[in-house]
Amino acid sequence: MFNVFKKIKEITDDPTFSSKRGHAERKARQWVYASFRAVIILGISYVILSPLIGIIASSFFSNADNYSPVVYLIPQNPTIERYQLAITRMDYWNVLVNMMIYVVGLTLIQLIICSMAGYGFARFNFPFKKILFACVIVTIVLPTHTIMYPLYTTFQTFNPLGLVGLFNQGNSVNLLGTTWPVIIMTLFGVGLRSGLYIFIFNQFFRGLPREIEEAAVIDGAGNIRTYLQIMLPNAAPALVTVAIFGVVWQYNDNFFGRLFNVSDSILLSRKISSLAATISNVDQVRDPAIATLYVYAGVVMMILPLLLIYVFLQKHLIEGIERSGIVG
Amino acid sequence: MSAGAELKQIKHKRRFSLSLSSKRSVVGLLFVLPFLIGFFAFIAYGIVTTVRMSLSDVIVAGATSGVELVWNNFDNFTRAFTIHPTFAETLGTSLLNMLIDVPLIIFFSLFMALFINQKFRGRTIVRAIFFMPVILGAPAIANALVSARSMMVGGVSPASPEIMTAITSSANVDVNYYLNMLGDLAIPPAFIGYIIGAVGRINTIITASGVQIVIFLAALQSIPPSVYEAAKIEGATPYETFWLITFPMVSPLILTNVVYTIIDSFANSPVVVLSYNTIFSEYNYGLGSVFSLVSSLAVCVVLIIVGIVMSRRIFYHT
């Protein structure tokens, strides 16, 4: 009887057996884990994509498909007419190019100003630092519509400290209807969601090891050079993240665009909000259910550039950072 | 060396080190200067105007002459808290909902970020899919879709009662039986209710987690691979690696995400909608300003408490 146990023990203790068994076990465990992960990711992807699938499918429906009770998701007579008309009415390509210049420019300003402020708060001590950082929090929290009216009047009669008046015979200028209000606010770190970006940068810089900075200082680099050549490259994931958010939110901004009456020839977001009305009035599509299909096509055309930008940034920048191992 | 010379040297050294630290504080101020100017010129000015409005009767005097403010002795504040039928209640529910959703969203997004940070086939596509809620939730697209939402095909409805009836009635499985069984295992009913509520609102939670997942992903990607290699060589188990390396390294960004989640949920909360409607539908600037100010102040207090509690547990390189 004991011999049997002895034999089993001998077999299991044999290094070739245990390595084989360990290998099989590890394989099995990996497989179970991978399928668990796949199930979760697939399920959640479906929840995320389901409204989008509906939108994309409907945007190809012809009028008959839209009313046919047998059509579900896959159209019988697919048409690209929705896209053609939506692109024409939104003046898509021109507006997209204008918009990209505007959005990318603003995002670059955001990156510079907010990373500077985040770095300043993360690594320097100065008087009233905590109170000033509370100002950042206030900027994030305050619902923007609360200060709509003061912002509107500020830019309607723009004359900070009487400086504009010096060049304009003592008169203020009306900046509404131009892109200047948004640019000025972004330059001074209070643009669209700037407070949040400052906060993200602050947390990121605080998470970086101090040693890399000290090494730079010992090597004789000045503060600005340390920031530009040491801290920024190390915060590359934060830069990419903020760049992505900056582009997406600026691109989708309804609030500043409307408040400052920025021309809709550079704002797709304003074009899309008036698309349904344009289609029903100019093209005499009186049926709201059909007009909605054009809006769907417009929404798909609006989402596409953002998605491409995100995939590009993720694939080329983030994975590049991972490979080159700048971090650390 | 004479004593005098040595003293001189020490003095010189001290003066040098003092000037270095004050120099650093000047440099620090220069870094945050643009923000400070912007804050005081636009935000602080806006807040002062709003406070003045909240203390006054606001009379819109016509297209050309703007508005006129008449001091009214805290009338708006008394009205908001004692006369207005829904404000206090709305503020309470908004804050409560916020606190309920925060832990769910944070756990969910950290979990998903860990998943999609791993290497597997189709990772780029999956990351793009998980980014979709950020795009779909952004104002312009969301607004364009809201008008058409009722006609949407193939979407999962976020309403939890529907899902509950669907799972309770499907395939003769009595879900309540299992739920009771969990109750018998001395799991508090409040906790079970919380989890079931979360499952019912899975759509809302996923939609609200887009930004947090992207932020966590960036945090995970900024952990140097060499740290993991070292841990592997030292023989750390995956469990230890997570709790001793990954978690501390992403902890500063957990605070960021908690703050973002609170603010995001506040921005869409009923109390902000109430304030917006009071200003722009009822043209009652004074009362609307009170709603905004009081609710913002409440959220600031919540954020400060969260910040203080969490900062003690966060790992910073300082």
* Closest by CA position to A100, among listed A302, A327, A325, A276: A302
Is B142 in the same domain as B222? yes
Q: Does A166 fall in a domain?
A: yes
Task: Tokens 């722009």: give the residue.
Answer: B280
Q: Does A146 fall in a domain?
A: yes
Task: Tokens 């200047």: give the residue.
Answer: A180
User: Is residue B85 within 8 Å of B229, Cβ to Cβ?
Assistant: no
Burial B232-260 (b: 16+ CB within 10 A, else e): eeeebeeeebeeebbeebbbbbbbbbbbb
- How much is the pLDDT for B121? 83
Q: Does B230 fall in a domain?
A: yes
Q: Which two tokens stand for residue B113?
A: 């970020």
What contacts B64, CB < 8 A, 6 or more positions away? none
Contact of A219 with chain B, judged by CB distance below 8 Å, is answered with: no
- State the Cα–Cα distance between residues B54 and B289, nearest whole angstrom: 5
- State the Cα–Cα distance between residues B269 and A141, nearest whole angstrom: 12
Q: Does B183 fall in a domain?
A: yes
CATH of the domain at A113: 1.10.3720.10
Residue B43 has its nearest CB partner, among A123, A142, A255, at: A142
Domain boundary, last residue among B9, B33, B53: B53
Amino acid in the structure at residue A47: V
Q: Does B277 fall in a domain?
A: yes
- How much is the pLDDT for B158? 38
Q: Chain B residues with CB inside 8 Å of A151's CB?
A: 42, 46
Q: Does B226 fall in a domain?
A: yes
* Closest by CA position to B166, among listed B128, B199, B215: B199
Half-sphere exposure of A156 (CA within 13 A, CB side): 12
- Indicate if the alpha-carbon torsion angle B154, A48, B272, A152 is positive or negative: negative
Q: Chain A residues with CB inside 8 Å of B266's CB?
A: 141, 143
- State the Cα–Cα distance between residues A55 and A75, nearest whole angstrom: 12
- How much is the pLDDT for B251? 87
Q: Which two tokens stand for residue A14?
A: 């044999």
A&B contacts, CB < 8 Å: 316
Q: Smallest CA–CA separation between A9 and chain B, in Å? A: 26
DSSP string, A42-87: HHHHHHHHHHHHHHHHHHT--HHHHH-TT--SS-SS---HHHHHHH
* CB spacing of A143 vs B296 below 8 angstroms: yes
Half-sphere exposure of A242 (CA within 13 A, CB side): 31
Question: Which pLDDT tens digit goes with each residue over A86-102?
Answer: 899 888 999 999 999 99
Q: Chain A residues with CB inside 8 Å of B28's CB?
A: 120-121, 123-126, 129
ipTM above 0.85 for this complex: no
Is B14 in the same domain as B133? no
Is B114 in the same domain as B235? yes
- How much is the pLDDT for A320? 57
Q: Does B190 fall in a domain?
A: yes
Is B235 in the same domain as B298? yes
Number of domains within chain B: 3
3-state helix, strand, coil in chain A (%, to 5): 75, 0, 20
Provide the terminal-to-terminal Cα distance of chain A, rounded to the nearest Å: 59
User: Is residue A147 within 8 Å of B39, Cβ to Cβ?
Assistant: no
User: Is residue A111 within 8 Å of A236, Cβ to Cβ?
Assistant: no
- How much is the pLDDT for A164? 74
- State the Cα–Cα distance between residues A157 and A159, nearest whole angstrom: 6
Number of domains within chain A: 1
- Indicate if the alpha-carbon torsion angle B17, B19, B21, B27 is positive or negative: negative
Contact of A128 with chain B, judged by CB distance below 8 Å, is answered with: no
Q: Which two tokens stand for residue A250?
A: 């600026």
Q: What range defines the domain where residue A98 resides?
A: 92-266
Environment class of residue A275 by beta-carbon count within 10 Å: exposed (0-12), middle (13-18) or buried (19+)? Answer: buried
Q: Does A54 fall in a domain?
A: no
Instruction: Evaluate if residue A104 carries a pLDDT over 90.
Output: yes
Is B231 in the same domain as B288? yes
Q: What range defines the domain where residue B182 resides?
A: 159-200
Task: Tokens 């402020």: give the residue.
Answer: A117
DSSP string, B136-162: HHSHHHHHHHHTTGGG-SSPPP--HHH
Question: Which pLDDT tens digit goes with each residue over A297-326?
Answer: 998 999 899 988 888 887 766 665 655 544
Q: Does A172 fall in a domain?
A: yes
Q: Does A229 fall in a domain?
A: yes
Q: DSSP state, A266?
A: S
Is B113 in the same domain as B232? yes
- State the Cα–Cα distance between residues A204 and B250, nearest whole angstrom: 9
Query: The whole model's pTM is what?
Result: 0.82
Q: Which helix (H) or strand (E) holds B28?
A: helix B3-38
CATH of the domain at B111: 1.10.3720.10
3-state secondary structure of B67: strand
Q: Does A248 fall in a domain?
A: yes
- State the Cα–Cα distance between residues A225 and B26, nearest whole angstrom: 16
Is B302 in the same domain as B165? no
Q: pLDDT tens, position by position, for chain B (318 residues)?
A: 455 555 555 555 554 455 667 888 888 899 999 999 999 989 998 899 888 888 887 777 655 556 677 777 777 888 778 887 788 888 888 888 888 888 889 999 999 999 888 888 888 888 888 888 888 888 778 877 775 554 443 333 333 444 445 444 444 556 667 777 777 777 777 777 777 777 777 778 888 888 899 889 888 887 878 888 888 898 888 888 888 888 888 888 898 899 889 988 888 888 888 888 888 787 788 888 888 888 888 888 898 898 888 888 787 765
Q: What torsion do the CA atoms of B134, B136, B141, B147 make, to the nearest 10 degrees?
A: -140
Is B113 in the same domain as B181? no
Is B215 in the same domain as B138? yes
For B186-250, the three-class secondary structure string (H helix, E strand, C coil) is CCCHHHHHHHHHHHHCHHHHHHHCHHHHHHHHHHHHCCCHHHHHHHHHCCCCHHHHHHHHHHHHH
User: Is residue A58 within 8 Å of A66, Cβ to Cβ?
Assistant: yes
Q: Does A4 fall in a domain?
A: no
* CA distances, A303 to each of A299, B132, B140 (Å): 6, 9, 11
Mean pLDDT score across all residues of chain A: 84
Is B214 in the same domain as B193? no
- Of residues A224 and A18, more confidence is placed in A224
Is B316 in the same domain as B254? yes
* CA distances, A149 to each of A61, B47, B284 (Å): 43, 11, 13
> Best interface-test mutation with B: which of A31, A130, A147, A323 has the largest number of B CBs within 10 A?
A147
Q: Which two tokens stand for residue A204?
A: 């990121």
Contact of A150 with chain B, judged by CB distance below 8 Å, is answered with: yes
3-state secondary structure of A216: helix
Q: What torsion do the CA atoms of A163, A165, A167, A173 make, to the nearest 10 degrees?
A: 100
Is B19 in the same domain as B128? no
* CA distances, A27 to each of A30, A153, B111 (Å): 5, 67, 23
* Closest by CA position to A272, among listed A291, A290, A244, A287: A291
Contact of A307 with chain B, judged by CB distance below 8 Å, is answered with: yes
From chain A residues 183-212, the ones with a CB under 8 A of any chain B CB are: 185, 187-190, 194, 196, 198-200, 203-204, 206-210
Q: Does A189 fall in a domain?
A: yes
